[in-house]
Amino acid sequence: MASVDLKAVLASLTLEEKASLLAGANFWETMPIPAKGVPAVKMSDGPNGARGAAFANGTTAACFPAACCVGSTFDVDLAKRIGSALAEETLTKGARCILAPTMCIHRHPLGGRNFESFSEDPFLTGKMAAQVVCGVQDRGVAATIKHFAVNEQETDRLTVDETVSERTLREIYLRPFEIAVKEAKPWAVMTAYNMINGHHADSNEFLLKKVLRGDWKWEGMVMSDWGGTNSTAAALNAGLDLEMPGPTRFRQVEVVVEAVKSGQVSEQTIDDRVIRILEFLERLGCFKDDVIPEEKAVNKPEHQALIREVGAKGIVMLKNENNILPLSKEKVKGKQLALLGHAKIGMAHGGGSASVNAHYRVTPWDALHEALGDNVKFSYAKGAHTFRMLPYLRENVVDLTGGNGFTYKLFEPGQAEPFYVKQGHEESFIDILSTFDVVEKEASLEGTFTATETDSYYFTCSGIGPSKLVINDELIYEQTENCKDPMGFIFGGAPAPQIKVPLKAGEQYKIFAHTSPPSKKDGEDDSILAGRIGLRIGYMSATEHDKDLVAEAVEVAKAADVAIVFVGHETFWETEGQDQVSFNLPKDGSQDRLISAVAAVNPNTIVVNSTGVAVAMPWLDQVQGLLQAWFPGQEVGNSIADVLTGRQNPEGHLPCTFPKRLEDCPAYGNFPGERDHNGQMRVTYKEGVFVGYRHFDRLPADTVNFPFGFGLSYTTFDFSDLSVKQGGDGDYAVTVKVVNTGSVAGATAVQIYVGNALPSSANPPKALAAFKKVFVQPGETSAVTLTVGSRDLATFDEATQKWITSGGDYEFMVARSAGDIVLRTSVSVGRKESEP
């Protein structure tokens, strides 16, 4: 079939029809014009799975390892395979565009969405993201690199104004996007929510016109983040092609037409925006086949195997005293293993839009039973309360008709009679993610709860807007103001005060909860959540709430030969919408106390930490083994068990520095910023280009627990014979030999860093310039050649607007990590200037 003449399609459209194409039709689809043959396309959230249309409890999907886990593999081939599988999953959800990969920088350990991104290093981030994009688009599905740009915090993410120098932007925060754009040519870019140097990302002419379209000569489609459009004319003129989602907030047909008629926007600009959208549709084959299929759950064995492999290869072994690991069948035969903490939870992913309704989740408890068989005795204790909000009130509740669940009612504001009633509402919450069509309404939940035990119970009630909880006609709690963090409410991270209520076994208690839409104050941001309602009731018996779980875990650990403590961040602790509450594991030190208490009674204590960020480790000297497991996807338990038992030799390397103290981090004191006299959150990136190891290289080595690039193995590697040769294109060929000096086969990431031999306070001592994962059999040697681009030696000069490599001697270094240089050689480099 011949390709579509897009210019002819464009010429056939009226101004009104063109305007209609500039925003989504609904939450996930673009606007079609059937009469003119213009189709729609469906998109789906990523980045670690194609979720489909529903935010919660929708069609099941494959849950892939989070980007922090993929980044720690230092393996571009695995990244490409992940991209290919993501494309296949996207198609099963009726979509042809996935909103992935996320590729912002880990600026600070408290960043709420760090887990969605690959690394603190722009080079590693860009190279890994580029291969994900290639894998996705090789299958005919559009990748969407996001969030462009400088989306490094969740606090006030819709409005925060970030002051960043151009050099810092170019070298750190834009560099990953530049690599992905130039090497993988993604078909779509998503703008960020935040402001950069006084201008929102969606209308930022420097980012969209000067850099993306100008310097990088990129020709794909630019879309907003969901609800991230902040203007009509300014965003259109800057280069934002598509506002998402629909219905539009800023691009109503009449508003766009008026902007053209009044001269705020030219019709040529409208044509430029529309042609990008039409080109996007054609690339995806939508003109040839405009059908949007129904969503399907397709659980492919090959995806299961890939997720297990990448999850295991991304796990980083940080400590292995006295070779306590691996726990092979032979080593633990007849022994007792205590599995503590989160052993029965599959910590597959972080919270927010990266969450998926996984096909399944393998827990470490189940995986270790499968791996080690019946000749090992297992014991378990939870050891710590980690809930952020009390569990939902679900059990022993009947609605007003006597059926299980609550009676759910919707009201017009101020009206006594509901316009909608649902009996048997299963949960004690009205979730905004399930009620996106409910705006500016009031709602209530009513039911009768029968207490099973005589006890005091803790209750909570919270809502997006003012809410209250009434039990037996007595007001228990009232939230009189709007929720301070509606995004946090959505993703389970907006705790409410706990009210203690005595109840008697067998007695019935009338439960009534009510919520109103959030009030809108002058100057308040009119976000995508404006007018949306949400309501949650939580409860827990005081006996369970106040139970000494640590003491129980200590007794279990005492009786075991080996104690494995599983800790980390559940989705409501590490999530989109909120930055981390603390550098310590949640909650209130409970998991830190658990580890210390267990280690005090069992000398063979191993910790498996599942977070997407570095955390404080006050117990580090007390434990024998430590794995950083990240969020490895639906095969989480199997991936962890594979490394613990030696089925997979650990080969992950940290994609971010693990500092000892938050105070030593480069952005400390400048994260998440301060409010000005108008309440505007502002943050200045005072650390400049000294992000991650670039900063820690200037501090004593003992300020970090583990440096960037660190990772242990069950074998050992040596490096020798470093040589560097410059090619005719100005790039450098770096050759080094890697020998496996241990007794088992394994893989390591060869890391090449380069720095000017003359130290300068303006420049980092070194930067990652090449890397390659190498697999070597025991006793064998592998000669590895890597390419260091001449551009990767350059810094950006704001005065001349050029990339400049200063002449002189540069050190090329082979390293096990940023903190362990094993070989170095000096190379004379000529001065070079190049355009952005």
Which among 705, 667, 707 has a CA at the least distance from the CA of 684?
667
Residue 756 has pLDDT above 90, yes or no: yes
pLDDT in tens, 216-247: 999 999 999 999 999 999 999 999 999 999 99
State the burial class of residue 275 (Cβ atoms within 10 Å of its Cβ: 0-12, 13-18, 19+): middle
Thinking of the domain 42-187, which architecture would CATH place it in?
A: Alpha-Beta Barrel (3.20)
Please state, in angstroms and rounded to a whole number, the distance separating the CA atoms of residues 757 and 766.
9
Whole-number Å distance between alpha carbons of 79 and 183: 14
Q: Which amino acid is at 197?
A: N
| Per-residue pLDDT at 435 exceeds 80 | no
3-state secondary structure of 338: strand
121-146: average pLDDT: 98
Q: How would residue 522 be classed by pLDDT, with cut points 50, 70 and 90?
A: very low
Q: Report the pLDDT averaged over residues 599-628.
A: 98
Q: What is the pLDDT of residues 138-172, one digit of tens each?
A: 999 999 999 999 999 999 999 999 999 999 999 99
Look at strands 681-684 and 820-829 and give their pairing: unpaired
| Residue ranges, CATH 2.60.120.260, the chain | 397-545
Q: Is the dihedral of CA 543, 549, 550, 552 positive or negative?
A: positive
Q: How far is CA 298 from the centre of its chain?
A: 24
Q: Which helix (H) or strand (E) holds 358?
A: none
Check if the beta carbon of residue 28 is closer than 8 Å to that of residue 95: yes
> Residue 611's pLDDT is what?
98
> Any idea which residue has 């602790």 for tokens?
573
User: How do residues 199-221 score in pLDDT, each as one tens digit?
Assistant: 999 999 999 999 999 999 999 99
- The token pair at 217 is 């000569």
- Is residue 793 helix, strand or coil? helix
User: Can you tell me the distance from the alpha carbon of 67 to that of 145, in angstroms, rounded to the nearest whole number?
Assistant: 13
225 counts as catalytic? yes
272: which residues sit within 8 A by CB, 6+ positions away?
none
116 contacts 65 by C-beta, under 8 angstroms: no
User: Above 90 in pLDDT, residue 480?
Assistant: yes
Where residue 495 falls among pLDDT bands split at 50, 70, 90? confident
The string of pLDDT tens digits covering residues 788-811 is: 999 999 999 999 999 999 989 999
Tell the residue number behind the tokens 């962890």, with chain if given. Answer: 640
Please check whether residue 44 is in contact with residue 284, taking contact to mean a CB–CB distance below 8 angstroms.
no
- pLDDT 10s digits, 523-548: 444 566 777 888 999 999 999 999 99
DSSP-derived pairing of the beta strands 377-381 and 474-479: unpaired
Over residues 358-392, the pLDDT tens digits come to 999 999 999 999 999 988 999 999 999 999 989 99
The percent of residues above 90 in pLDDT, for the chain, comes to: 91
DSSP state of 419: S
- Can you tell me which residue has the tokens 């004319």? 233
Query: How much is the average pLDDT of 742-762?
Result: 95
Distance (Å, rounded) from C-alpha 246 to C-alpha 26?
A: 4
Q: Is the dihedral of CA 489, 146, 801, 167 positive or negative?
A: positive
Q: Are 425 and 511 in contact (CB under 8 A)?
A: no
Q: Distance between CA atoms of 559 and 569, rounded to whole angstroms? A: 27
Alpha carbon separation from 27 to 19, 41, 47 (Å, rounded): 18, 12, 17
Higher pLDDT, 522 or 555: 555
Judge contact between 181 and 136, C-beta under 8 A.
no
Confidence class of residue 428 from pLDDT cuts 50, 70 and 90?
Answer: confident
- The answer to whether 41 and 286 have CB atoms below 8 angstroms apart is yes
pTM value?
0.96
| Residue 65 contacts residue 308 (beta carbons within 8 Å) | no
- Cα separation, 135 vs 28, in Å, equals 22
Residue 342's nearest CA partner among 24, 694, 609 is 609
Q: What is the CATH number of domain 713-834?
A: 2.60.40.10
Helix 76-92 to helix 301-314 angle, to the nearest 10 degrees?
Answer: 140
Task: Please check the confidence at residue 68 and state whether its pLDDT lies above 50.
Answer: yes
The predicted-structure confidence for 311-367, as pLDDT tens digits, reads as follows 999 999 999 999 999 999 999 999 999 999 999 999 999 998 889 999 999 999 999
Question: In DSSP terms, which residues pair with 130 in a beta bridge?
Answer: none
Query: Which class is 1-40+196-283 in CATH?
Result: alpha beta
CA–CA dist 749, 314 (Å, integer) = 12
Q: Does the N-terminal peptide bond of residue 468 adopt cis geometry, omega within 30 degrees of 0?
A: no
SS3 assignment for 220-243 = CEEECCCCCCCCCHHHHHHCCCEE
Domain(s) labelled CATH 3.20.20.300 in the chain stretch across 1-40+196-283, 42-187
Tokens of 610: 């599942």
Side chain identity at 384, as an amino acid letter?
A
Per-residue pLDDT band for 496 (boundaries 50, 70, 90) equals confident
Residue type, 57: N
Q: Please report which confidence band the pLDDT of residue 487 belongs to, taking 50, 70 and 90 as the band edges.
A: confident
How far does Cα 791 stand from its chain's mean position? Answer: 29
Question: pLDDT class for 433, splitting at 50, 70, 90?
Answer: low
E strands, 550-617, where? 562-568, 605-610
Average pLDDT over residues 659-663: 97
Distance between CA atoms of residues 687 and 698, nearest Å: 12
Q: What is the pLDDT of residue 613?
A: 98
pLDDT of residue 440: 84
Rounded distance between C-alpha atoms, residue 566 and residue 339, angstroms: 7
From-to residues of CATH 2.60.40.10 in the chain: 713-834
The answer to whether residues 659 and 635 touch, using CB atoms and an 8 Å cutoff, is no
Q: Where do the CATH 3.40.50.1700 domains begin and end in the chain?
A: 301-382+569-704
Mean pLDDT rounded to a whole number for the chain: 95
Q: What is the CATH number assigned to the segment(s) 397-545?
A: 2.60.120.260
Helix, strand, coil % over all residues of the chain, rounded to 5: 25, 30, 45
Residue from 75, 161, 202, 225 carrying the catalytic annotation: 225
- 770-792 per-position pLDDT tens digit: 999 999 999 999 999 999 999 99
d(CA 609, CA 594): 13
Rg (CA), the chain: 27
Structure tokens at 703: 């300020």
Measure the CA–CA gap between 730 and 794, rounded to whole angstroms: 12
Helices (H), 106-195: 122-137, 166-168, 175-184
- Of residues 2 and 681, the one with the higher pLDDT is 681
Amino acid identity, residue 318? L
- Single-letter residue type at 367: A
Q: What architecture is domain 301-382+569-704?
A: 3-Layer(aba) Sandwich (3.40)
Q: DSSP letter for 248, please.
A: P
Residue 693 clears pLDDT 50, i.e. is over it: yes
Give the SS3 label for residue 498.
coil
**What are the CB-based long-range contacts (under 8 Å, 24+) for 4-12?**
4/282, 4/287, 6/275, 6/278, 6/279, 6/282, 7/275, 9/36, 9/37, 9/38, 9/278, 10/271, 10/274, 10/275, 10/278, 12/36
Residue 715: pLDDT above 70? yes
pLDDT value of position 630: 98
Q: Do 709 and 654 touch, CB atoms closer than 8 A?
A: yes
